Structure 1
Amino acid sequence: MRILSFILSLFFLVVASCSSSSKATDLFGIQLEGNQKTFTKGAQVGIALNNKKDTEVTSISYSLDGESLPVTNGKVVFNPKKLGSKVLKATVSYGDKTAEITKDIKILAEDAPDIYTYEVINTFPHDIKAFTQGLEFYDGVLYESTGIKGESSLRKVNFETGEILQEVALDDTLFGEGITILNNKVYLLTWQSGLGFVYDATSLEKTGSFTYGNSKEGWGLCNDGTSIYKSDGTEKIWKLNPDSLTEKEYIQTVTNRSVFNKTNELEYVDGKIYANVWQKPSMMIIDANSGAIEGVINFSGLKNRVKQHSKLDVLNGVAYHPERGTFFVTGKRWNKLFEVKIKKK
């Protein structure tokens, strides 16, 4: 009987203890003006602590992306360096305790993307069998990567004649994706194998390999002369250390209306990332720091200028020629490479 009494006493003690130590989310919440969860960059938003049980609070502070978020007249300003999905955090002190409360929000671009069109300057021959994935100029030579298992390759091309100057094949089990070239090294992605390769830009000899970190897949690559940028089929573009190939951070591609997740082949020019939109005849101009999609280039009609055949596929591949100041674009199994100028509509 004494044992039963002891067990019952212990049970009620545990229950009482649990009921007196409520979770922080039972006590507090973050209340935003209009109950909104999506805001534009620079928005001033009313903020308050939802004190659900009238707990005595001694202090409260807010932060976004780990940076303090000052409150002025009951409002905060959402002005992060990088846009996209964010976690808003409130740190609440009450009694002898401190709790952290979070709320998921989205910060979008201030302005709608500008619309651009194109002017064809020159047309050059292109290998109609090439399932083009990556395209980049380096030391005046056009480098190209192609996809499809059993057909994937890395090659150097004479862009004026379409002649393949040098070529190495990938293993038949691999689906080649985007490339970029930095410090005489070619970095090449594969699609779903979680594996990338490094080649000597002169000889095309394979010198190394690397695995992906948190990025989902391998899609496109570009570089700013210091860091490498990698798209993975999501809204994220990852920034990689070119020596270790580790993912340091990422930006998210956003418009003034939504987070966008169709970024494919990449090219970096003067602080902007030019990115093919997956399965669309268009290209985005993305701010490489914030992720804001500042422009959209409409390439409609370009596919009609190439030879029509049963295996013809979508626009893909963008390379900037710094000496000529123009872009070169093509597509998967296109027989032409186009030199174009981008013009605001």
Structure 2
Amino acid sequence: MGAKSLKRRPIKQHNPEPQASMASSRRKIGSHRKVSVLLSASLTIAVIGLFAIWSYSRHNFESGVSYEMGRVVNEFPHDSDAFTQGLLYAENDTLFESTGLYGKSTVRKVNLHTGKVEVLQKMDDSLFGEGLTLIGERLFQVTWLQKTGFIYDRDNLSKLQQFTHEMKDGWGLATDGKVLYGSDGSSTLYHIDPSTFKVISKQVVHFKGHQVHNLNELELINGEIWANVYMTDCIAKISPKDGRVLGWVVLPNLRQELIAAGNNGIDVLNGIAWDSEQKRVFVTGKLWPKLYEIKLLPIKKSFEEGVIEQLCLRNPFRFTT
């Protein structure tokens, strides 16, 4: 891992974050995938100013794209040592979670209300756990920097099978029960056959002419793929048919409030879970002490052109040996 290096290909000048700042904050290389909890000064200013600029000159939202914030309706305890990579809700207020970091990666069954880990499967120290999803009685998980994945029994988390997929890397997983949707940290959304692990189709995720890079943890909600965009406080709502961004959920308040309360060791927003029966959305982050149930509130006022690009889009990352 020490031999890995990170290269970037510039995109349009909508991202004010200096290259040096991104290099220092993006540390998903080496024995740890820990990143800085403080984003660049320009990003912080953009987040804080998101609502202030509404009173100035405005531009209309892109037609058909929704813009929403999240209001916290419930808070639940979350293991602050869990480097959350994959998250999903099952019945009876049960969560399944995949955690990362070498030597600390796990798959776990968690009680929503108490945050207690009820069943835990520790992964080999050479593996870095990533996205997780559930089809029937089987949990599917991918791993970082490898094309290897695992299938677990949902009851006791025993390992049932190892598989090889065709994505360039393993980041996020979601499903509609028939197809696996996968991300590899690029702007590509993969459709994968869960029986053969062959790619059925794929789309480039795009917003206003820009590719949306660094797609991370995934969840399927009401026919949309929701994706954490790595190193942002944003969730992209994506059409699985054509890769178009249908909307943005912007959640800077969650991380900022945790930091303000003294949680300086937290990492980025990552982890989306959906309770389809009670229509509840849950989110958390890497090393966060809390998991939140949020209610989405539409942002009805328009804001200056380029703000979403500043908050939610990042340069692509390339890994070479």
* TM-based fold match above 0.5: yes
1:190-219 deviations in Å (ceiling 9; x for gaps): 000221000011121100011122x21000
Aligned twin of 1:30:
none
Tell whether 2:90 aligns with 1:138: yes
Tell whether 2:289 aligns with 1:343: no
Rounded Cα–Cα distance in structure 1 between residues aligned with 2:135 and 2:182: 14
TM (norm. structure 1) is 0.66
1:216-240 deviations in Å (ceiling 9; x for gaps): 1000000012101000111111111
Structural RMSD (CA) = 1.4
Structure 2 counterpart of 1:206, from 156, 159, 168? 159
Instruction: Please list every run of 5 or more consecutive structure 1 residues that lacks an aligned counterpart in the other structure.
Output: 1-109
Structure 2 counterpart of 1:224, from 154, 160, 176? 176
Give the partner amino acid of 1:276: N
Structure 2 counterpart of 1:195, from 148, 156, 162? 148
1:143-198 deviations in Å (ceiling 9; x for gaps): 00100000000000001011000000110011100100001110011000221000
Segments ≥4 residues shifted beyond 4 Å: none
Give the partner amino acid of 1:269: I
1:263-302 deviations in Å (ceiling 9; x for gaps): 1100001210011011101101001111100111110110
Q: Is the CA contact 1:144–1:179 (under 8 Å) kept in the aligned structure 2?
A: yes
Kindly indicate which of the two structures has a greater share of residues assigned to strand: 1
Q: Give the stretch that moved more between structures: 197-206 or 308-317.
A: 308-317
Rounded Cα–Cα distance in structure 1 between residues aligned with 2:124 and 2:86: 17
Give the partner amino acid of 1:243: S
SS at 2:288 equivalent: coil
Rounded Cα–Cα distance in structure 1 between residues aligned with 2:209 and 2:146: 33
Rounded Cα–Cα distance in structure 2 between residues aligned with 1:123 and 1:218: 29
Q: Which has the higher contact order (CA 8 A, sep 6+)?
A: 2
**Bigger Rg over Cα:** 1
Deviation at 1:112, TM superposition (A): 6.6
Rounded Cα–Cα distance in structure 2 between residues aligned with 1:180 and 1:114: 26
Structure 2 counterpart of 1:168, from 111, 121, 125? 121
Tell whether 2:226 aligns with 1:274: yes
Aligned twin of 1:295:
247
SS at 1:198 equivalent: strand
SS at 1:267 equivalent: strand
Aligned twin of 1:159:
112
Give the partner amino acid of 1:202: D
Deviation at 1:310, TM superposition (A): 4.6
The size of the alignment, in residue pairs, is: 235
The percent of aligned pairs where both chains have the same amino acid is: 37
1:231-262 deviations in Å (ceiling 9; x for gaps): 01111111111111221111210112212212
Give the partner amino acid of 1:289: K
Tell whether 2:218 aligns with 1:256: no
Structure 2 counterpart of 1:315, from 239, 264, 269? 269
Give the partner amino acid of 2:179: S
